[in-house]
Structure 1
C-alpha cells in the first residue's frame, strides 16, 4: 500500500504543536518502558488501533491484552519508537479534535548494543481533548512500501 499524502492548508500554533509533540513523547515512553496500562490510558476508553497487518484492537482492554501477548517478543531488548514529520490538522477551531499524520521508525537494541530496525510506517491518528488533556481516539498504521511508478 502506498501512503496517502494530504496537503494541509491550516497551521497550528506553536503551543499546540509543542503540546502534541509532548503528548507523543510521553505516550511512546510508556510503551517503550512496557507500561502497558499507562500506554492504554493515553487512548479514549473506546479508542482503537488498526495495525498494518489488519489486526484491530478496540478499547483499552483489547489493547492491553494484545500487548501482553506480544511481551515475549521484547525480552532482552530495548525498543524505541521515533516519530517525525508530524502534520497536525485541527478538525474544529477549539482544537478539541485533531488529525495527526506522522512517520514512525522503531529500533530494537539488544544487550550487546546491536541496533536493528523495524519496517517504517506512516501513522494516522485522531486526537481528542477530554477534561483538558489529549487522548488518542483512533490510530491507523500503514506499513510503508515503494510508490508505484
Structure 2
C-alpha cells in the first residue's frame, strides 16, 4: 500500500493555484500571439526580466523594445510556450504579505513552421515573483535559467 508523502512546505489554496495557472495561460497566449504590449502589461511598470544569457530588461518600455527587436526571428513560425512542474510559494518569508507569490516552473518552447515541422528551443527553469496590484496578479521579477547537465 502506498505511503503518503510528507511535505514541509505550506500548501497554497486551490483557488490561488488556479489563479496562477490562469495568469500564466493568459500571459503566454499574449507572447505567443506576439501581442508585445499585452504581454508587457502583465508585468509591473518597473518589472524586471533577467534572461539566461545575463541580459536584463527593466520596465515595460525596455521589455517592449527587446521583444520588437526579436520579431524578425519569429517570422513564418508559430510559437508555443509550455509550462509545467509549477511550484507556488505564497508569502515565502512568512511576513504576512499576502500580495506576493513566488513561483518556479520548467518551460519548453515549440516552434512550428508553415509546413508543420516542429522544433524545440532549449529547456529553461524560470523563477518569478508575482504581486497583486488592484486585485490583479502581475510579474514583478522573472529570472530565466537555461537548463544544463548537472556537474558530476
The two structures share one fold, judged by TM-score above 0.5: yes
Unmatched tracts of structure 2, length 5 or more? 1-6
1:148 offset after TM fit, Å? 1.2
Verify: 1:108 aligned to 2:142, yes or no: no
Contact 1:47 1:136 in 2 (8 A): yes
Rg: which structure is higher?
Answer: 2
Q: Give the 3-state SS of the residue equivalent to 2:119 in structure 1.
A: strand
Q: Give the 3-state SS of the residue equivalent to 2:30 in structure 1.
A: helix
- Note the alpha carbon deviations across 1:72-107, whole angstroms, 9 max, x for none: 000000000000101000125453000100000000
Q: What's 1:20 paired with? A: 20
The TM-score, its normalising length taken from structure 1, stands at: 0.93
Q: What's 2:3 paired with? A: none
Verify: 1:70 aligned to 2:73, yes or no: no
Relative contact order: is structure 1 or structure 2 higher (C-alpha 8 Å, sep ≥ 6)?
1
Aligned residues: 143
Q: What's 1:3 paired with? A: none
Instruction: Provide the rounded CA distance (Å) in 1 between the counterparts of 2:48 and 2:97.
Output: 23
- Note the alpha carbon deviations across 1:24-48, whole angstroms, 9 max, x for none: 0000000000000000000000000
Instruction: Provide the rounded CA distance (Å) in 1 between the counterparts of 2:97 and 2:15.
Output: 13
Aligned-residue Cα RMSD (Å) equals 1.2
Q: What's 2:53 paired with? A: 53
Q: Give the 3-state SS of the residue equivalent to 1:53 in structure 2.
A: coil
Instruction: Provide the rounded CA distance (Å) in 2 between the counterparts of 1:94 and 1:12.
Output: 14
Verify: 1:87 aligned to 2:64, yes or no: no
Q: What's 1:32 paired with? A: 32
Instruction: Provide the rounded CA distance (Å) in 2 between the counterparts of 1:17 and 1:89.
Output: 10
Instruction: Provide the rounded CA distance (Å) in 2 between the counterparts of 1:57 and 1:110.
Output: 28
Which 4+ runs in 1 deviate beyond 6 A?
none
Q: Give the 3-state SS of the residue equivalent to 2:69 in structure 1.
A: helix
Q: What's 1:142 paired with? A: 145
